[in-house]
């Protein structure tokens, strides 16, 4: 199996909920090692797209390839190689943080030696070490979010999907996550995230995809996006200009 350039290839993707088109014929690619950001108003179709790319939802039509595999028929193989941090960290409330991590490690076939080494490292990084023996139900939203991120990092996915990963994180944790994304991407992990935080999209992303009403309005580097609006425009100006009248 050769090295692939585009870890995600989406062609003419459509998602209908009944008669409503939540995603309307979108196409894009994500490169290996790229930080790719979906930005758009509430209801734009971001979460719907992430759910399709991670096998939670089936698309209505179009083609989706992840790591060269077809999402329509090879999702089981794809799922072993990707990680998802969903917008709501719904996780087993009665496991302790440590039990949760061991379960994730076992499900993804991470050897026990590596689990024993990595779990404390991840807990240290996210200030969870002290709470490792407590049940998840007793965790705050941000702590659950950090635990889900730790779980994904434990199995080293080739693509990380993160839907609003920084919602609820305190400034120090947000910093940790931002630094981590950069490091992961440098080492070849691809990152697909949805965010409303313009500053993060602007500073972190290699490319930004602005989506609204299920359609892609623009997809480019921040530098190129801002050139089209005005000299010195920041992402807020670009975003408001493109989504004018919507949000």
Beta-strand ranges (E) seen in 114-226 are 159-163, 190-194, 207-212, 215-220
Of the residues 37, 47, 145, 190, which one makes contact with Mg ion according to CB under 5 A: 47
φ/ψ region of 99 (left if φ > 0, alpha if ψ in -120 to 50, else beta) reads alpha
190 touches Mg ion (CB under 5 A): no
Of the residues 4, 31, 32, 43, which one makes contact with ligand ATP according to CB under 6 A: 43
Q: Which stretch binds Mg ion (CB under 5 A): 47-55, 56-64, 115-123, 138-146?
A: 47-55
Nearer to Mg ion, 22 or 67 (CB): 22
Nearer to Mg ion, 47 or 150 (CB): 47
Nearer to Mg ion, 162 or 225 (CB): 162
Beta-strand ranges (E) seen in 89-231 are 159-163, 190-194, 207-212, 215-220
Cα–chain center distance at 203: 16
Neighbouring residues of 245: CB distance < 8 A, sequence distance ≥ 6: none
Nearer to Mg ion, 154 or 201 (CB): 201
Which of Mg ion, ligand ATP, none sits in contact with 131, Cβ below 5 to 8 A by type?
Answer: none
The first and second tokens of residue 240, run together, are 């408001």
Contact 139, 147 (CB under 8 A): yes
173 touches Mg ion (CB under 5 A): no
Helix (H, G, I), strand (E, B) or coil at 189: coil
Q: Smallest gap, in angstroms, from Cβ of residue 231 to Mg ion? A: 32
Q: Smallest gap, in angstroms, from Cβ of residue 107 to Mg ion? A: 25
How far apart are the C-alpha atoms of 13 and 66, rounded to whole Å? 13
Total residues at the site for Mg ion (CB under 5 A)? Answer: 2
Which of Mg ion, ligand ATP, none sits in contact with 40, Cβ below 5 to 8 A by type?
Answer: ligand ATP
Of the residues 35, 44, 119, 185, which one makes contact with ligand ATP according to CB under 6 A: 44
What phi and psi values does residue 140 have, to the nearest 5 degrees? -75, 170
What phi and psi values does residue 241 have, to the nearest 5 degrees? -65, -45
Total residues at the site for ligand ATP (CB under 6 A)? Answer: 11
Q: Smallest gap, in angstroms, from Cβ of residue 55 to ligand ATP? A: 16
Among residues 31, 12, 3, the alpha carbon closest in space to that of 185 is found at 31
120 touches ligand ATP (CB under 6 A): no
Site residues for Mg ion per CB under 5 A = 46-47
Site residues for ligand ATP per CB under 6 A = 17, 20, 22, 40, 42-48
């Amino acid at each position: 199996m050769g090295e692939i350039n585009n870890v995600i290839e989406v062609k003419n993707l459509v998602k209908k909920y009944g008669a409503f088109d939540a995603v309307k014929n979108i196409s894009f690619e994500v490169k290996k090692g790229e930080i790719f950001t979906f930005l758009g108003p509430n209801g734009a179709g971001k979460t719907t797209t992430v759910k399709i790319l991670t096998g939670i939802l089936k698309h209505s039509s179009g083609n989706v390839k992840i790591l060269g595999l077809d999402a329509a028929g090879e999702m089981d193989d794809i799922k072993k190689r990707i990680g998802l941090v969903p917008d709501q960290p719904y996780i087993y409330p009665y496991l302790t943080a440590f039990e949760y991590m061991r379960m994730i490690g076992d499900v993804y076939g991470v050897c026990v030696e590596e689990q024993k080494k990595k779990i404390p490292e991840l807990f240290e990084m996210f200030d969870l070490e002290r709470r490792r023996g407590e049940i998840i139900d007793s965790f705050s939203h941000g702590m659950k979010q950090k635990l889900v991120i730790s779980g994904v990092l434990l199995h080293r996915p080739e693509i990380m999907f993160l839907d609003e990963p920084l919602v609820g994180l305190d400034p120090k944790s947000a910093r940790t996550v931002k630094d981590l994304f950069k490091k992961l991407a440098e080492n070849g992990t691809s990152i697909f995230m949805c965010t409303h935080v313009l500053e993060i999209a602007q500073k972190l992303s290699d490319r930004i995809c602005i989506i609204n009403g299920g359609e892609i309005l623009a997809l480019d580097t921040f530098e190129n996006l801002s050139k089209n609006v005005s000299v010195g425009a920041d992402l807020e100006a670009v975003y408001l200009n493109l989504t004018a009248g919507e949000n």
